[in-house]
Amino acid sequence: MDYALCKAAQHNMEGITRAVTFYDINCQYNKHLRVWVDQSQFLEMVPELTIIPGIGLWHMHGHQDSCYVQYVSNFIEGIGQIDGEIMETLWARLNLISPTALGMSSPHRQECLDFQMNDSNFCKMICMKRTLCHKYKQAKNCIAESEKAFNRLNEAAPANLKTEWLANERIAQSSRINDPAGDGCLRDKYQEGEKEIELRLLEQGNAHNAAPSWRSVVTWISMGLAIEEAQIALLIEV
């Protein structure tokens, strides 16, 4: 991985001073990358190149909550959504032939799996244009829907809060390069879990002598969120 990254960072990089890398264990891999490269007699990387580490959404859900705001593409300026993180998703297709390969000798098994993977790559290649066009149309529709939702939220939010949010975002983005763990204004808000929010709302209701119906609404919303999480987990399992 070190060799591949260093060579990629030297190819057609003239005038480029910022690069974003995505790796499923970037939260650990990127910590001492510069030290490893500097100490190696075989590797080199341009000192002026700033590498911003990221983790794809497919792998992010297996990490700690603290990794989400630090490395997910949604919070990296200029990135947003990525596509193409599909290596592991292809394993499901290999599972269909794996029982057949169990009784094979090692060379035969390797040839069989190589054949299946090459066939999969060929099918992707001939369908690439059609698939990309379909995804492009989907993305355009999603952008339009997102803009509508954002505009509704933007119009409803108080001006002083929007100013505060923008200031917090600038602080988080400026600290991301040198210290990804320093974007606490995002991390703290994300880590305020569902139970903490429920307790806070219940305490506010008790402080204002809220009617039992108010307290039941809070619990009902919490249960709804828990059901949605269970549905997402079920879809992943399916």
Is 214 domain-assigned?
Answer: yes
Please list, in sequence order, all residues whose beta carbon lies within 8 angstroms of the beta carbon of residue 83, skipping any fewer than 6 positions away: 135
Q: Express each pLDDT in 14-43 by its tens digit.
A: 888 888 899 888 889 988 888 989 999 899
What is the per-residue pLDDT for 206? 62
* Same structural domain, 14 and 64: yes
Strand partners, 129: none
* Same structural domain, 1 and 81: yes
Instruction: Give the chain's domain count.
Output: 3
Is 179 domain-assigned?
Answer: no
pTM of the model as a whole: 0.61
Count of CB atoms situated within 10 Å of the CB of 72: 19
Residue 212 lies in domain: 192-238
* Same structural domain, 53 and 95: no
Is 43 domain-assigned?
Answer: yes
Domain end, chosen from 141, 156, 171, is at 156
* Same structural domain, 21 and 68: yes
What is the per-residue pLDDT for 195? 62
Low-confidence ranges of the chain (pLDDT < 70): 84, 86, 89, 128-129, 176-198, 201-202, 204-216
Is 5 domain-assigned?
Answer: yes
Is 66 domain-assigned?
Answer: yes
Count of CB atoms situated within 10 Å of the CB of 38: 11
